[in-house]
Amino acid sequence: METERITLSQRERDRLKVLHEVKQKHLSQVAAAERLKVTDRQVRRMLLRIRERGDSALVHGLRGRPSNRKLAARWEQKILARLRQRYADFGPTLAAEHLAQEGLSVSRETLRKWMTKAALWRPRSQRVKAVHVWRERRASFGELVMQDSSPFRWLEDRGPACHLIALIDDATSRIWGRFTEHDTTEENLRTLEGWLRRYGRPLAHYTDKASIFRTAGPQPLPEQLRGDPLRTQFGRALNELGIEWIAAHSPQAKGRIERLFETLQDRLVKEMRLAGIDSIPGANHFLEMRFLPEWEQRFTVAARNPRNVHRRLGHEQHLQEILSVRVARKVAQDHTVSWDGNRWGLVRGEVCAGLRGAAVEIERRLDGSHWLRYRGRYLHLRACPEPVRISASPSGLRPPGLAEQKARPKTESKPKYHVPAEHPWRKPWKRTFLLCEKPDISTLR
């Protein structure tokens, strides 16, 4: 007769050993109940079941069978069908939130299990883990602010490709950002201006070593003579605002804002897809009015020190002047300056003594206006119209250029010049010599 095999768990084996001691009178039912942490009545029930069905009576009755609290298979298929239809690339947490809004309520852990089984989600344990050194957050809000940009198909195929320039506070994870068409110095200054007007001046600004924040060329001679350090336009603005600039030596060093972009590329892209955003202005409005308030409610954390260390802007700190692009130029004799192939002239009423040939600075502000900075004064610049070239031809048309002359057909060749018959060159030289007077040789002595 074949021996019956029973699979027991460790807990069931421990219970069976205690119950066998009770059956052999080595242990009382009250002592067994204390050891198994059940009542003595429950011990008598288990002894009765063992007497009737043997040791297999301790096996749980639902082993190998679906749980009584399991959700119906039809409900699981309905949820997965909706996920494949609209939320195929969503994570379990975000997908559970949007399914609940549609009336399809399911816990995120159950959804995570279903999505893993359906190959719609890959658990974190199966991903490649990056090794980095943990750094504690700063203590106060405004002590350290990180800034970076992320080129990504934020609008997918509905709109143009754009960049997201974002700032995040290291202590609280409070964020601010803007969508821009290009990642330029002016756009980074505009994004910084939004943070400054909302919260004030932070103590330190943390960025990478991109050319917008750090220059690698040789320092010009005038700056060397003055002893000024080599700075970019962004670095100069931070210095005038009294904000310390810190450069990250690797992407892992600014991991907080890198992880922010990973989250936004997952959540923000899909939220804008559901809202039908298809333009950069619409994306900026959605980010400021809808996404950022929800982010502050859910994902910001309390700083260890509740004190806000942001500093107010002083009366002497004018953002429109500080957050600008400046270049050094020399004023011409007609009181004009040149920049980027354009000529800019001064208004006649603002011309002052000493301007001709003076070393000045041209300041292009974020609103597009141009100003001339001379001895602490700001003089308004206006664009000079391009000179009109007047043709010297009788018809008033411009003479053909070299390219047009080369493109002229070969049939339009220049006519050959013929010497007329009455020209002196055609007269015999002997006749011409005889007609001349004979020179007086005596006068030559």
In the structure, what pLDDT confidence band is assigned to residue 114 with cuts at 50, 70 and 90?
very high
Please count the other Cβ atoms lying within 10 Å of the Cβ belonging to residue 424: 8
Residues 122-143: b if buried by 16+ CB within 10 A, e if exposed: eeeeeeeeeeeeeeebbebbbb
Task: Flag whether pLDDT at 433 surpasses 60.
Answer: no
Q: Which range, 242-251, 257-266, 342-351, is most confident?
A: 257-266
Q: What is the mean pLDDT of residues 179-185?
A: 94
Distance CA 306, CA 318 (A): 29
SS3 content of the chain, % helix, strand, coil (to 5): 40, 15, 45
Q: How far is CA 177 from CA 204, 245, 301, in A?
A: 18, 19, 18
Summarised one tens digit per residue, pLDDT across range 26-60 is 889 999 999 888 899 988 998 888 888 887 777 77
Task: Flag whether pLDDT at 443 surpasses 60.
Answer: no
Distance CA 170, CA 167 (A): 10
pLDDT of residue 46: 87
Give the residue, 223 or 25, on which the prediction is more confident: 25
In the structure, what pLDDT confidence band is assigned to residue 249 with cuts at 50, 70 and 90?
confident
Summarised one tens digit per residue, pLDDT across range 259-269 is 999 999 999 99
Residues 372-400: b if buried by 16+ CB within 10 A, e if exposed: bbbeeeebebeeeeeeeeeeeeeeeeeee
Q: Does domain 145-298 have CATH number 3.30.420.10?
A: yes
Q: Model pTM?
A: 0.66
Q: Where are the domains of the chain?
A: 10-58, 80-126, 145-298, 323-383
pLDDT of residue 418: 78
Residue 144 makes CB contacts below 8 A (sequence gap 6+) with 138, 169, 170, 171, 202, 203, 204, 206, 246
